[in-house]
Chain A
Amino acid sequence: MRYLLEVERVRKAFPGVLALNDVSLRVSAGTVHALMGENGAGKSTLMNIVAGLLKPDAGDVRLGGRVAMIHQELHLMPSMTVAENVFLGREPLTRFRLVDDRALERQTAAILATLNVDIDPGARVGDLSLAQRQMVEIARAVSREADVLIMDEPTSALSEREVAKLFGIVSDLRARGKAVIYITHKIDEVFLIADEVTVMRDGCVVGSLPASDLDRDRLITMMVGRELTQLFPKNNLPTDRIAISVSGLSLDGVFSDVSFDVRRGEILGVAGLVGSRRTEVAETLFGLRHPSSGEITIDGEPVRIDSPVAAIECGIAFLTEDRMSSGLFPPLNVHENMEVPVLGEFVSGGFVKQTRLLEACRTAAAAVQLKRPDQLFEPVQHLSGGNQQKVLVGRWLMTAPRILILDEPTRGVDVGAKAEIHRLIATLAADGAAVIMISSEMPEILGMSDRVMVMRQGRVAGIVERSEANQVELMRLAAN
């Protein structure tokens, strides 16, 4: 059995996090190899290294042939035809160095035929369905004579029939001696299609086994089983008063029938895997998206939240998932980053009272443990990821929120700042705020939450009490 891919002791670190720690992996020709693990386990990082998009800090990657990666967000040009996409950058040329359109279509049709896919090579990719576009990507990989194909969560947006079609193609590729690496969190699919399974967790390989040696429970245990060594400060006691109640919230095509409530003083953890649409629900609660149906009630009063302005007026604060794209103001300094939502409270006679405002910023900065007094005037770009996140927490602190929504509050944050942020969240809850915390880190969810709502593909899979919540149970709900 020939190995088409050998990964040996690969290590990769990003600022603040060790993404891959001494990872080794072998994939044979003519196999489908599933790569599994929670969000953040290191699967995508590893595959980006194998595909040549990232360089490892240490270790070796040996390929027995060409490799092609089909990303979750397909990299196709919607305005161009199927044939043009398949041969993009490698178009067959005529004698006069012009693109040979006829050869282009002919060769594309040939490849599509071998894959048993019925798509017109002249069709515009933008007009195709998602499933068809995936086929085009696969055709592209095949046309590049890739021996190793990496597919990243290929079925997250496909119907059952389309999934079956995809499996047919994958089996066919296997029969032809290719190696297919299949990144997924869908346990059922793994048992349908994979020959071997590698499970990763926290940047390490937990195990590489033939699929026949595994069963569902063992797989889940491998994915999440770990010692919870980190203690989380919990000093809050959920009251009986319901701060926010969501009923039947739906956004067509994104999520449906989401219902839950959060009490004052309670921390509701929101768990789920890629594609569960947790962020979209949070954005809807904050007025960044408009729901198609459903109701939101705050402190007993039904509300319509049609913009962040309205949300802030209702006492909601939102710490977004990606601080760089939607949280920080990079060229501005720390206090300028903190003060924007609350400027209205410091205006008198049309002018902003700078001294009072700075005083308030100073208090908030101290509350989030931004210790140095001169930090208020430092450009926020100069701060570490953890401190940047604290600046944003400080910003929302200043709005004295009744409901605090946090989306991955400790992503990309070093261990020290992580603990501080957790302490802050617990304090906020102890002071009476209702906290909704979206997180992909199991220990964080289990350590901080009073209850956990698990979402799966845009629906609520279940709401679990703290006493019943454990990693296996949550993963079971999250991974269909």
Chain B
Amino acid sequence: MLIGIAVGFELIGWSTRGASFLFNGQRLLVMVLQVSIVGLLAIGVTQVILTGGIDLSSGSVVALSAMIAASLAQTPNARAVFPALTDLPVVVPVAAGLATGALAGLVNGSLIAYTHIPPFIATLGMMVSARGLARYYTQGQPISMLTADYTALGAGAAPVVIFLAVAVGFHILLRHTRYGKYTYAIGANPLAARVSGVRVERHLIVVYTIAGLLAGLGGVVTSARAASGQAGMGMSYELDAIAAAVIGGTSLSGGIGRITGTVIGTIILGIMTSGFTFVGLDAYIQDIVKGGVIVSAVVADRYRHRLPAAKA
């Protein structure tokens, strides 16, 4: 985490060479908005990683839930997907989007808990299938003309507020409830957790469902902000989400990590991207550096959590 912040500051210092980086309100807003949606996903994937698993499907689930929610949020004068279902109260598309995400997570969790497929493979399958389903939904056509009530969810600072509210909520959940403690225990040692009376399978399903639910929320906010639903949304978001969690100190072996860390990791990711654009760094080089930062964060994490020369 400290390393992450250091990287952040380095970038800030770097960029005050030219015009002011941080004190440009517009830029900051754009940066934070960009980051809020990935942040939502990151909170979900942090919990998954805490249990010792991984979720590669969040980006695709964003697309799928964006499509489904948008299709239920269209105005009557649009070329609607469901002509009979236009101008619906905003609750409906939102619920549909959330439910889509939750369902995807439920499938992931059930597969992983009961068939013992590695989470990497199960969520990889979902990643591909969900994206395919999103495309199939309207044969690749974008969904547009959404109601004002719906797009309000993505307007102004709404995404940021939603992100922060979710972050606070899950921070409390992980620190102060049984759910949170069981999550850490399972990641630390699933067998010991079972011996200690944790219903491991049931808990894993819940964790993956929550991650899916948050991806669904991400889809709703994305389509609200873009005032449309497109099957290409959320591309690579899952990788950014994982990167944010890892930079924020979440250990890929499970049992270590915090929401506060993930939020910081998300912001650092945003600063990096924004800073690169500001400095005029070539987009491809951005990716190279981003990759380097992520690997360094993991190496540093390994180093810090190395088993000390403990007795027996």
Query: Are B197 and A331 interface neighbours, CB within 8 A?
Result: no
Q: Restricting to B285-312, which residues have a CB under 8 Å from any CB of A? A: 305, 307-308, 310-312
* A367 contacts partner chain B, Cβ-Cβ < 8 Å: no
Contacts of A384 in B (CB 8 A): 310-312
* A37 contacts partner chain B, Cβ-Cβ < 8 Å: no
Render B241-282 as a binary contact track against A, CB cut-off 8 A, 1 for contact. Answer: 000000000010011100000000000000000000000000
How many residues of chain B have a CB within 8 Å of chain A? Answer: 28
Query: Are A352 and B195 interface neighbours, CB within 8 A?
Result: no
How many residues of chain A have a CB within 8 Å of chain B? Answer: 39
Contacts of B254 in A (CB 8 A): 331
- State in angstroms the CA–CA spacing of A257 and B276 once bound together: 71
Query: Are A328 and B197 interface neighbours, CB within 8 A?
Result: no
- State in angstroms the CA–CA spacing of A451 and B76 once bound together: 82
Render A310-323 as a binary contact track against B, CB cut-off 8 A, 1 for contact. Answer: 01100000101000
Query: Are A385 and B189 interface neighbours, CB within 8 A?
Result: no
* A171 contacts partner chain B, Cβ-Cβ < 8 Å: no
- State in angstroms the CA–CA spacing of A318 and B195 once bound together: 8
- State in angstroms the CA–CA spacing of A385 and B176 once bound together: 30
Query: Are A339 and B192 interface neighbours, CB within 8 A?
Result: no
Which of A14, A308, A343, A395 contacts B181 (CB under 8 A)?
A343
Render B202-234 as a binary contact track against A, CB cut-off 8 A, 1 for contact. Answer: 000000000000000000000000000000000
* B184 contacts partner chain A, Cβ-Cβ < 8 Å: yes
Given A336-B184, A412-B312, A343-B189 contact (CB < 8 Å) = no
Query: Are A331 and B198 interface neighbours, CB within 8 A?
Result: no
Render B190-203 as a binary contact track against A, CB cut-off 8 A, 1 for contact. Answer: 01111111110000
- State in angstroms the CA–CA spacing of A354 and B194 once bound together: 22
Query: Are B195 and A332 interface neighbours, CB within 8 A?
Result: no
Given A15-B312, A347-B178, A384-B311, A329-B188 contact (CB < 8 Å) = yes
Total A-B residue pairs with C-beta atoms closer than 8 Å?
Answer: 91
Query: Are B197 and A312 interface neighbours, CB within 8 A?
Result: yes
Give min CB distance, A140 to chain B, whole Å. Answer: 32
Query: Are B196 and A395 interface neighbours, CB within 8 A?
Result: yes
Query: Are A336 and B195 interface neighbours, CB within 8 A?
Result: no
- State in angstroms the CA–CA spacing of A395 and B256 once bound together: 21
Given A336-B181, A381-B307, A309-B199 contact (CB < 8 Å) = yes
Contacts of A253 in B (CB 8 A): none
Query: Are B188 and A330 interface neighbours, CB within 8 A?
Result: yes
Query: Are B195 and A382 interface neighbours, CB within 8 A?
Result: no
Contacts of A352 in B (CB 8 A): 176-178, 181
Contacts of B69 in A (CB 8 A): none
Chain B residue nearest to A310 in the complex (CB): B197
Give min CB distance, B253 to chain A, whole Å. Answer: 8
* A59 contacts partner chain B, Cβ-Cβ < 8 Å: no
Query: Are A332 and B312 interface neighbours, CB within 8 A?
Result: no
Query: Are A332 and B307 interface neighbours, CB within 8 A?
Result: no
- State in angstroms the CA–CA spacing of A258 and B308 once bound together: 43
Chain B residue nearest to A324 in the complex (CB): B189
* A288 contacts partner chain B, Cβ-Cβ < 8 Å: yes
Chain A residue nearest to B191 in the complex (CB): A326
Which of A288, A347, A388 contacts B194 (CB under 8 A)?
A288
- State in angstroms the CA–CA spacing of A381 and B256 once bound together: 14
Chain B residue nearest to A320 in the complex (CB): B195
Contacts of A416 in B (CB 8 A): none
Query: Are A382 and B191 interface neighbours, CB within 8 A?
Result: no
Contacts of B176 in A (CB 8 A): 351-352, 354
Contacts of B191 in A (CB 8 A): 325-326
Q: Restricting to A355-396, which residues have a CB under 8 Å from any CB of B? A: 381-385, 388, 395
* B185 contacts partner chain A, Cβ-Cβ < 8 Å: yes
Chain A residue nearest to B307 in the complex (CB): A381
* A350 contacts partner chain B, Cβ-Cβ < 8 Å: yes
Given A309-B197, A329-B255, A395-B196, A344-B188 contact (CB < 8 Å) = no
Query: Are A344 and B178 interface neighbours, CB within 8 A?
Result: yes
- State in angstroms the CA–CA spacing of A104 and B194 once bound together: 46
* A340 contacts partner chain B, Cβ-Cβ < 8 Å: yes
Q: Restricting to A243-287, which residues have a CB under 8 Å from any CB of B? A: 286
Which of B177, B182, B189, B256 contacts A326 (CB under 8 A)?
B189
Give min CB distance, A410 to chain B, whole Å. Answer: 12
Q: Restricting to A1-39, which residues have a CB under 8 Å from any CB of B? A: 14-16
Give min CB distance, A59 to chain B, whole Å. Answer: 23
Which of A312, A327, A344, A354 contacts B192 (CB under 8 A)?
A327
* A40 contacts partner chain B, Cβ-Cβ < 8 Å: no
- State in angstroms the CA–CA spacing of A280 and B311 once bound together: 28
Give min CB distance, B81 to chain A, whole Å. Answer: 39
- State in angstroms the CA–CA spacing of A325 and B181 once bound together: 19
- State in angstroms the CA–CA spacing of A54 and B178 once bound together: 44
Contacts of B182 in A (CB 8 A): 340, 343
Give min CB distance, B62 to chain A, whole Å. Answer: 29
Given A308-B197, A309-B197, A343-B178, A331-B312 contact (CB < 8 Å) = no
Give min CB distance, A428 to chain B, whole Å. Answer: 18
- State in angstroms the CA–CA spacing of A383 and B256 once bound together: 19
Given A320-B195, A329-B255, A351-B176, A339-B307 contact (CB < 8 Å) = no
Give min CB distance, B230 to chain A, whole Å. Answer: 39
Which of B188, B198, B251, B310 contacts A332 (CB under 8 A)?
B188
Contacts of A443 in B (CB 8 A): none
- State in angstroms the CA–CA spacing of A326 and B256 once bound together: 18
- State in angstroms the CA–CA spacing of A335 and B261 once bound together: 22
Query: Are A308 and B312 interface neighbours, CB within 8 A?
Result: no
- State in angstroms the CA–CA spacing of A137 and B192 once bound together: 34
- State in angstroms the CA–CA spacing of A347 and B176 once bound together: 9
Give min CB distance, A388 to chain B, whole Å. Answer: 8
Contacts of A320 in B (CB 8 A): 195
Which of A308, A309, A329 contacts B189 (CB under 8 A)?
A329
Chain B residue nearest to A379 in the complex (CB): B308
Query: Are B178 and A382 interface neighbours, CB within 8 A?
Result: no
Give min CB distance, B168 to chain A, whole Å. Answer: 14
Chain B residue nearest to A413 in the complex (CB): B312
Beyond A15-B311, A340-B198, A343-B182, list 5 extra A-B contacts (CB 8 Å): A320-B195, A331-B255, A332-B185, A332-B255, A340-B185
The 9 closest A-B pairs by CB, nearest first: A385-B312, A329-B188, A15-B312, A340-B196, A331-B255, A384-B311, A326-B191, A312-B197, A341-B196
Interface residues of A (CB under 8 A from B): 14-16, 286, 288, 307-309, 311-312, 318, 320, 325-332, 336, 339-341, 343-344, 347, 350-352, 354, 381-385, 388, 395, 412
Task: Give 27 CB contacts A-B under 8 Å.
Answer: A308-B196, A311-B197, A326-B189, A326-B195, A327-B192, A327-B195, A329-B184, A329-B185, A329-B188, A329-B192, A329-B193, A329-B255, A330-B188, A330-B255, A331-B254, A331-B255, A331-B256, A332-B185, A332-B188, A340-B182, A340-B193, A341-B196, A350-B177, A382-B308, A384-B312, A388-B312, A412-B312
